[in-house]
Amino acid sequence: MFERFLRALALGAGAVLLALMGLVLFDVLMRYVLRLPFLGAYELTELAMVLIVFLGLAYTGATGGHVTVDVFAALLERPGLRWIAVAVNLAGAALLGVITWRTLLHALESGARGEATNMMRIPHQPFELVAAACAALFAVVLLAQAWRAARGRAR
């Protein structure tokens, strides 16, 4: 059930990416064909990139899609590798916990200040809250992977 939810978020990221492609096409046509640039394209691109990255983050981690480097694989036996995986996943979860906490604080502060984009006045806070929530989901994924690795059931 949880992985389905993460997959739905990743599919949402894909939909935002498709919309961003349409926006770029629209902006290019308006700018070079009609000589009427769409002034909000840059801002929308920035906000879309937040959604694309963070909505797909936890699902990519849950499915093993992130880039990994196995430096110690040739040097250590199987049990040693298991505990390295546990430590790495726990350290990643701790880091994502800090990122979640700081991003949430920043979102609350920017909402109180009324921060928004320059041209279109789109508030920053909803996008920062999405980033915080998705970072928290990725931390949960890393904790689950640490638990599985500690029990000897690596994915």
The sign of the dihedral angle between the CA atoms of 142, 144, 150, 153 is negative
Whether 88 is in a domain gets the answer yes
Structure confidence by residue, pLDDT tens digits, 41-69: 999 999 999 999 999 999 999 998 888 77
Q: What is the pLDDT of residue 155?
A: 57
Condensed to tens digits (0 to 9), the pLDDT of residues 93-107 reads 999 999 999 999 999
Residue 139 Cα distances to 4, 33, 50, 61, 98, angstroms: 17, 46, 18, 10, 10
| Inside any domain, residue 155 | no
Q: Which domain holds residue 85?
A: 2-150
Summarize pLDDT for 73-128 with one digit per residue, the tens: 667 666 777 788 899 999 999 999 999 999 999 999 999 999 999 999 999 999 99
Q: What confidence score (pLDDT) does residue 107 get? A: 97
CB-facing half-sphere around the CA of 47: CA atoms within 13 A: 20
The position carrying tokens 């739905």 is 8
Res 126: pLDDT? 97
pLDDT of residue 117: 94
Residue 144 has pLDDT above 60, yes or no: yes
Q: Report how far residue 76's alpha carbon sits from residue 6's, in angstroms, rounded to the nearest whole number.
A: 33
Q: Is 73 helix (H, G, I), strand (E, B) or coil?
A: coil
> ∠9-11-14 over CA atoms, to 5°?
115
Residue 78, domain member (yes or no): yes
- Residue 30 belongs to a domain: yes
At which residue do the structure tokens 């929308």 appear? 44
CA distances from 90 to 38, 96, 122, 152 (A): 45, 10, 36, 15
pLDDT band at 154 (very low <50, low <70, confident <90, very high): low
Tally of domains within the chain:
1
| Residue 141 within a domain | yes
